[in-house]
Amino acid sequence: MTTVREATFQMLRERGMTTMFGNPGSTELPMLADFPEDFRYVLAMHEAVAVGMADGYAQATGHLAWVNLHTAPGVGNGMGAIFNAKANKSPVVVTAGQQARSLMTLEANLTNREAARMPHPLVKWSYEPPRAQDVPHSLARAAHMASLPPAGPTFVSIPMDDWGVEVDDGAVAHQTRREVGGRAVADPAAVRNLGRRLAEAERPVLVAGPGIDASGGWDAAVALAEAQRLPVWATPVPGGGRLGFPEDHPLFQGSLPPAIGPMGEALSAYDLVIVAGSSVFPFYPNIPGPLLADGTQLVAITDDPDEAARAPMGDALVADVALTLAALTVAAGGSDRRPPDQRPDPEPAQEQTPLGPDAVHSTLAEVFPDDGIVVLESPSSTLALRNRLRIGRPGSYWFGAGGGLGFGLAASLGVQLARPDQHVVCVLGEGSAQYAITGFWTAAAYHLPVTFLVLNNSEYSILKWFAGLESVEGAPGLDLPSLDCAAVAQSYGVRSEKAAGRDELHAALSAAIEAAEPRLVEVAVQPGMSVG
């Protein structure tokens, strides 16, 4: 006979889920007992970091990741990051320990009295198995649910006395050794119809979203745009957790504005808008206006039925994004319409002291390696980074689509673990860094050679920009005097330095990127929103 623990670890092994992110407590120790040698445990000092790492790891490997939290308080601490993982469509299985079954009714200390209800709105499936013997099957179900499109986190609560219980080998083998695939091709008639509409359109455009990269559709998107000579826009920044198109490509035009009014205006130049791998749209903030101009039609391609259903305009095809783009390219054929003008190179950055975010990101662009990966959470300099780096490769840019701060620092660790041979540069605002600050410990403890670049403007710049937009005056809590990220990171074991001026920054960043250990470079920057 096999125990729940043996059956569970065997199932995880067979699925390649041998890395566990987590922060343990007494309710998790029975699960961790005799931890198998072929598994790796990555310790986070806070659950937001554990979940954020798992999110980055899942996205960068393209496979399920596993994170284990400590009963109710651990899940509570991780909920903001679980929200982010849902927005990122990240296939993460979250497990949490629970009090022993015999002590749950009397609500002994640490009992999570409604464990499955706690993260429920933030996950695709939330469960506490009715019997110990159901744990392996529950975890298999959670794994399938997390990876089926649209991918996203699932949750299983596991009472601490379940792990030693014996299970029926035959039943467990059936329950856990199943392949469940979810890549669906679009209705061929619908693709032919869309291909015809595209070929006949006079001013069509492609809007590229994160689902292109996630589905492996990068080359298919480029092939479609080139065959049809489409101008290509990125979906608005808040929802663009990944790039969907090379931003150094001559057809690429930039990022669409995120608010309804300006977006409708920007799209009014086109008669057919094809949105691939994005919601329609990640709108924010509230600037009203027509959703779409008269004479503009829109069709979205998404693997997410909810995304398709909730869109306020246009038609939608629910299917795998990569497969559909490839089929659409065949259906539409080539076009000899005039390609769009190429967007200009960025203007030279202003010379000022301290540096502006544009100068910082121009400097980063000078030293950024060919295989470099950016994980970005520097709110007021997001657009500047996108414009200055113009990243041209898939899987090279990660951004928290949920908007919950703390994703950046944590996810950069998971991405680096997933891509040990590539250079990860994590770009943070000094305010954003605080939400996952203990991640510096994990970076140092596991020798993860991430380069952290912190832009310190001593304030929540983006919130001051929003205050202007919302006509809010006199809001407290928007200044951050005396935050010293370099000193904090150093105390966690990450070698850190401060740089001022472009030459110093250039030298510090090159050295940090080349180092085989985590390094941090903090640079004082001008406050304020930077768009390019």
- Which of residues 404 and 439 has its CB atom nearest to ligand TPP in the complex? 404
Q: The dihedral of CA 130, 136, 137, 143: what is its sign?
A: positive
Asked if 232 and 205 count as a contact pair (C-beta separation under 8 A), the reply is yes
* Dist. CA 289–CA 254, nearest whole Å: 21
Supply φ then ψ for residue 471, to 5 degrees: 50, 40
Nearer to ligand TPP, 280 or 462 (CB): 462
- Which of 277/404 has CB closer to ligand TPP? 404
Measured from the CB of residue 103, what is the shortest distance to ligand TPP in angstroms? 34
What Cα–Cα distance (Å) separates residue 152 from each residue in 54, 92, 106, 202, 474?
Answer: 12, 6, 34, 38, 39
Which CB atom, from 379 or from 414, has the smaller least distance to ligand TPP? Answer: 379
Q: Which residue is nearest to ligand TPP (CB)?
A: 429
Judged by beta carbon, residue 314 or residue 403, the one nearer ligand TPP is 403
Q: Smallest gap, in angstroms, from Cβ of residue 141 to ligand TPP?
A: 30
Judged by beta carbon, residue 148 or residue 480, the one nearer ligand TPP is 480
CB nearer to ligand TPP: give 93 or 462: 462
Q: How far is the CB of 384 from ligand TPP (least distance, A)?
A: 10
Residues that bind ligand TPP (CB under 6 A): 80, 378-381, 403-406, 429-432, 435, 457, 459-463
Residue among 149, 151, 162 nearest 115 (CA) = 162
Encoding tokens for residue 362? 């121009």
In angstroms, what is the C-alpha Rg of the chain?
24
We find the least distance from the C-beta atom of residue 113 to ligand TPP, in angstroms, to be: 26
| Tokens (6 digits) for 304 | 């997410």
Question: CA–CA separation, 396 vs 402, rounded Å?
Answer: 19
- Point out which residues pair with 154 in neighbouring strands: 93
Minimum distance of ligand TPP from residue 380's CB (angstroms): 3
How far apart are CB 455 and ligand TPP at their closest, in Å?
A: 7
Determine contact, residues 222/326, Cβ cutoff 8 Å. Answer: no
Q: How far is the CB of 92 from ligand TPP (least distance, A)?
A: 18
How far apart are CB 460 and ligand TPP at their closest, in Å?
4
Shortest Cβ distance from residue 59 to ligand TPP (Å)? 19
Of the pair 258, 406, the CB lying nearest ligand TPP is at: 406
Closer residue to ligand TPP in complex, CB, 463/500: 463
DSSP assignment of 359-421 equals HHHHHHHHH--TT-EEEEE-GGGHHHHHHHH---STT-EEE-TT--TTHHHHHHHHHHHH-TT
Nearer to ligand TPP by Cβ, of 31 and 123: the residue is 123
Q: Provide, rounded to whole angstroms, the least separation between the CB of residue 522 and ligand TPP.
A: 12
Q: Supply angle C-alpha 443, 402, 385, rounded to 5.
A: 65
Residues 6+ apart with CB under 8 A from 148: 180, 182
Backbone angles phi, psi at 426, to 5 degrees: -105, 115
Distance CA 152, CA 133 (A): 25
Contact assessment for residue 327 and residue 221, using Cβ atoms and an 8 Å cutoff: no
